[in-house]
Amino acid sequence: MTSNTLLDAARRTLVAGAAALVLGAVAVPSFVAPTFAADGPASVADLAQGVLGAVVNISTSQTVKGTEGPGAVPMPQLPEGSPFQDFFDDFFKNRGGEKDGGSQKVQSLGSGFVIDAEQGIVVTNNHVIADADDIEVNFSDGVTLKATLVGTDTKTDVAVLKVDPKGHKLTAVKFGDSTKMRVGDWVMAVGNPFGLGGTVTVGIVSARNRDINSGPYDDFIQTDAAINRGNSGGPLFNSAGEVIGMNTAIISPSGGSIGIGFSIPSQLASGVVEQLRQYGETRRGWLGVRIQPVTDDIAESLGMATAKGALVAGVIKGGPVDNGTIQAGDVIIKFDGKDIHEMRDLPRVVAESPVGKAVDVLIVRKGVEQTVKVTLGRLEDGEKLASGENGNTDQDKGADKAPAVSTASVLGMTVGELNDETRKKFSIAGDVSGVVITDVAKDSAAAERGIQPGEVITEIAQESVATPKDVMERIGALKEQGRKNALLMLASKTGELRFVTIRMD
């Protein structure tokens, strides 16, 4: 064998070895991408066939004043090119009513679904049937039944209807567990968009825990399954045919689907439905506190490592924790074993708890975690109580015993004694105590926080203050401790409490 032949053989060996190394490097990848069929997910025909019979159309009628009178109902604004434009043109033609407020019948359409075939229970959105004089449930086989209203809940936009189960053979679906749904899971929406009953659309869970500012318990599932007008109240199914959401809202400038729809999660809806079925109304748990978010500045002022939980800004008199169990300035970080990551988590968790239940609440009080036991009241009763009281908590009543002192200037504020003169000047309620703010310097740290003259400082860093001297001493002590911010509890003229932090640099 010549030297050239040997050299060629060596080169081939080296190349083969290098190729083997490269192939070996990619033979076990760190991430294996999922595979999909070229035409998308597997067919949902069997799933749709199994649930279509339980999904219904909801039609309502309402008597309103003529279109030219006060309270008129205008013609619906349909998407451009809607096949129902001619229908609505004919419907509203010559229906102006009497100019002095003649009446007319107005109809609306929505969706719903049967959850109990034996009892004839149908679930939909409250806004679908709100103010309706007559409600009809239309089934996929063409049968129409009159419905009666069992109960509604405006806070979650849920309504429960009842039809005569003897009037038609009903098919029911059941609620699933929405907490198990993950972003990216396939979902199927069925409903009555634009009056086109029995419409099936498919998409995925785009996001969870969405807050769209529609109510106090917002926790929506976001989906890109096409949802349009008329889908409201219809079900959102998982791949097992269980209802994991109730389609409620869309974001759309035109009224048509742009791939951003929202569904009430079954975890929330199912509990409301059960209460409406049992009582005809909701019976939510109530803690009896006013809360606000825990910002980074507030967390630092309270000695907390991270900003989390709900800050108690006030305790409602006569409420479940008016006995001092929970106090203004406490931060609730866990309720009945459930973590409270941010303020909006607490109202929902409390509302889902049974009335009268004794629960453990983990709080941070003056930098120290402790657990307190609380027995919940009923929210519906508490709302009446809260509307009739001023929200003031039990504060130090020793202001009138403190010696009179001159005003002081601190953190861009001028503060003074809260006496008869200053109460009258700023119209401050008699049961508010502390140190009154008489002036706020322009462009100061206090002004940046929206502090106004007439507000009263009741606490600084969770310590009560009664005189301008107390305020100066508390601020000085915080600076000596190296604190960057001062946490103030402020009372409004009527006693409403809030917390603010002010920079001390």
- Angstrom distance (rounded) from CA 395 to CA 87: 64
pLDDT reading at 333 higher than 80: yes
User: Which tokens hold the place of 158?
Assistant: 């849920």
Does the annotation flag 230 for ligand binding? yes
- The answer on pLDDT for 3 being more than 50 is no
Q: What DSSP assignment string belongs to 428-496?
A: --TT--SEEEEEE-TTSHHHHTT--TT-EEEEETTEE--SHHHHHHHHHHHHHTT-SEEEEEEE-TT--
Q: Cα-flanking dihedrals φ and ψ of residue 48, to 5°?
A: -65, -45
Q: Is 127 annotated as a binding residue?
A: yes
| C-alpha distance across the termini of the chain, in Å | 87
CA distances from 324 to 155, 231, 391, 459 (A): 29, 48, 14, 16
SS3 303: coil
Predicted confidence band of residue 476 (pLDDT cuts 50, 70, 90): confident
Band of the pLDDT at 264, cuts 50, 70, 90? Answer: very high
List pLDDT tens digits, range 302-331.
778 889 999 887 788 888 998 889 988 889
Task: Give the tokens for residue 498.
Answer: 């809030």
Is the pLDDT confidence value at 100 over 70?
no
Distance between CA atoms of residues 343 and 465, nearest Å: 27
Taking the mean position of all CA atoms in its chain, how far away is CA 219?
5
Asked if residues 480 and 453 have their Cβ atoms less than 8 Å apart, the reply is no
Residue 148, CA distances (Å) to 106, 121, 159, 377, 396 in order? 19, 10, 11, 30, 54
∠ CA 297-302-305 to the nearest 5 degrees? 75
Instruction: Sketch out the chain's domains with CATH numbers.
Output: 178-268 (2.40.10.10), 286-385 (2.30.42.10), 407-503 (2.30.42.10)
pLDDT band at residue 68 using 50, 70 and 90 as cut-offs: very low
pLDDT single digits (tens) 390-440? 444 333 333 233 333 357 788 888 888 888 888 988 999 888 889 999 988
Q: Is 66 known to sit in a ligand binding site?
A: no
> 289 in helix, strand or coil?
strand
Confidence of residue 247 (pLDDT cuts 50, 70, 90): very high
96 is in an annotated binding site: no
pTM: 0.65
Instruction: Decide if 462 contacts 481 (C-beta within 8 A).
Output: no
Q: What is the pLDDT of residues 125-156, one digit of tens each?
A: 999 998 888 999 999 888 999 999 999 999 99
Provide the annotated active-site residues: 127, 157, 232
**Which pLDDT band, with edges at 50, 70 and 90, does 495 fall under?**
confident
Which tens digits make up the pLDDT trace of 150-171? 999 999 999 999 999 988 889 9
Q: What local confidence, expressed as pLDDT, does residue 441 receive? A: 86
CB-based contacts of 347: which residues, under 8 Å, 6+ apart? Answer: 216, 217, 291
Task: Say if residue 456's pLDDT is above 80.
Answer: yes
CA 286, CA 375: separation in Å to the nearest integer? 9
Instruction: Return the amino acid letter for 237.
Output: F
User: Which residues is 360 bridged to in the sheet?
Assistant: 373
* Chain CA centroid to CA 502, Å: 29
Cβ–Cβ under 8 Å, residues 173 and 242: yes
pLDDT interval class at 124 (50, 70, 90)? very high
Q: How confident is the model at residue 340, as a pLDDT? A: 94
